[in-house]
Chain A
Amino acid sequence: MSASSLRGLPGLASIAAVTMGVALLLALVVAPEDADQGISQRIFYIHVPIALTAYFCFGLGAVKALLLLWRGDERYDLESYVAIHQGTIFGALTLITGSIWARASWGVWWTWSSHQLVLFLILFLFYCAYFMLRFSLEEGPRRERSSAVYALFGVALIPVSFLAIRLADDFIHPTVFTRSGPQMSGTMFATFCVCWAAVTLLAYVLYRVELAGKRLDANLRELREALQ
């Protein structure tokens, strides 16, 4: 394993942990209570950054997939896979936190009227299928390319699905819940930014850790095969 994949990682992880702590403190204690929604609004500081980070991870996975198809370098395969893996974990967290928020503010565990939640459900299904595809193919260039092509379809599916969900309102007629718009005070906005930074940093650290682990695993396997 190259030492570069671990360089700076402990330091980065410490920074992420501290930022996360500060973010939680700001979100739970410092930020003023929302006049309309009360304490339940505080999940916003976690839910929205997680959702944005999931999008970011899916995007990163697609960029790495494009690089794999373009340059043919197999290291992008693992990077794309790990990014999508993290994206799926954060996507699942988005669904869970969104569901909790829906329960707290609207009294239901699930609502089809929240476009973002429905989109995440579709994406979650799509990216779960990514893993099914990946694990049913034999390891090799074909698996790398097929996974990459599927990852690229994912980023095309995001805007198309979003448009579809918007259009579906036309005949599904949901009960419209109004989520009080982004009227955030200065402190609230600052808290949101810190939370976003913390979650992004956390995702990046997790990405690096998983990548290092996967590379270690691959190198170990190569060594074992060489010894046999």
Chain B
Amino acid sequence: MTYLADVVALTRKDLRIELRGRDTLPAMLLFVLATLVVFHFALPEQSGSGAAYGLLWVAIVFTALLGLARAWVPEHEHRVLDGLVLAPCDRSAIWVGKALATFAFLVAAQVVALPVFAAFFEPLDATALVGVLLADVGICAVGSLMSAMAAAGRSREVLLPLLVLPLAIPLVVGGVGTAVSADPVRFLLFLALYDGVFAVLSWASFEYVVTE
């Protein structure tokens, strides 16, 4: 039970920092809306609905990257990470807390962005929304770990997209598939498989990337 309490406390810490500072969420929101407007001009008239769904996924991945780039900044600015690592809690709880907070930011940005997408371009059905949620889980799980790795490096802003994008390609396949395929269940299952594999891997390996 203490593990769960640690996770809740760590997530709350991140959400509270965001509520007070408002560093991440407004930036993500503005970014995704601006991207959707750019897409309108990037898509020629005859490109069809498939292209719009594809671009939506580009927007989702890049918005997530924007959030992830900020994810560990407070920890590094004030050397909080050292304190967290020394705290008597399981280190993986730090990762779970961070992934949950990033997930919350991403979903909050999408609550605005997806209706706007539907209004600007094409409607999204329930399976596509489930696909978005499943892909969010995957990208936050993998991204929180990669972001922790990149944050220790010299050029973290440049490094993070390079680390995450190859890992996000299967999520984009799954996400676009749920929106455009005639048989979206396969893609939902694939996304769930991805989430399972990479969440377990990230959870198990987080301890190694933050301890000296």
Contact = CB atoms under 8 A, between A and B. Distances in A.
B181 A129 contact: no
Given A146-B149, A156-B198, A164 B169 contact: yes
Interface in B145-198: 145, 149-150, 152-156, 158-159, 162-163, 165-167, 169-170, 173-174, 176-177, 180-181, 183, 186-187, 190, 193-194, 197-198
Interface residues of A, number: 33
Contact of A168 (B163, B177, B197, B211): B177
Contacts of A136: 150, 153-156, 159
B53 to A, nearest CB: 9
Contacts of A161: 169-170
Interface residues of B, number: 39
B201 interface: yes
A100 B165 CA distance: 27
Nearest to A69: B208
Given A161-B170, A164-B174, A171-B180, A149 B198 contact: no
Interface string A166-196: 0110110000000000000000000000000
- Judged by DSSP, the binding face of A is helix
Given A150-B149, A161-B170, A164-B173, A140 B201 contact: no
A142 interface: yes
Most buried by A among B149, B176, B177: B149
B167 A157 contact: yes
B45 interface: no
B194 A149 contact: no
Given A142-B209, A142-B212, A171 B163 contact: no
B50 interface: yes
A141 B210 CA distance: 10
A160 B194 contact: yes
Nearest to A128: B162
A132 B198 contact: no
A64 to B, nearest CB: 15
Contacts of B152: 137-138, 142, 146
A145 B169 contact: no
Interface in A148-168: 148-150, 152-153, 156-157, 160-161, 163-165, 167-168
B95 to A, nearest CB: 12
A145 B209 contact: yes
Contacts of A149: 145, 149, 205, 208-209
B209 A163 contact: no
A58 to B, nearest CB: 13
A145 B208 contact: yes
A133 B186 contact: no
Interface of A: 69, 122-123, 125-126, 128-129, 132-133, 136-138, 140-142, 145-146, 148-150, 152-153, 156-157, 160-161, 163-165, 167-168, 170-171
23 contacts: A69-B208, A122-B166, A122-B169, A125-B166, A132-B158, A133-B163, A142-B211, A148-B208, A153-B142, A153-B201, A156-B201, A157-B166, A157-B170, A160-B197, A160-B198, A163-B190, A163-B193, A164-B173, A165-B173, A167-B173, A167-B177, A171-B176, A171-B180
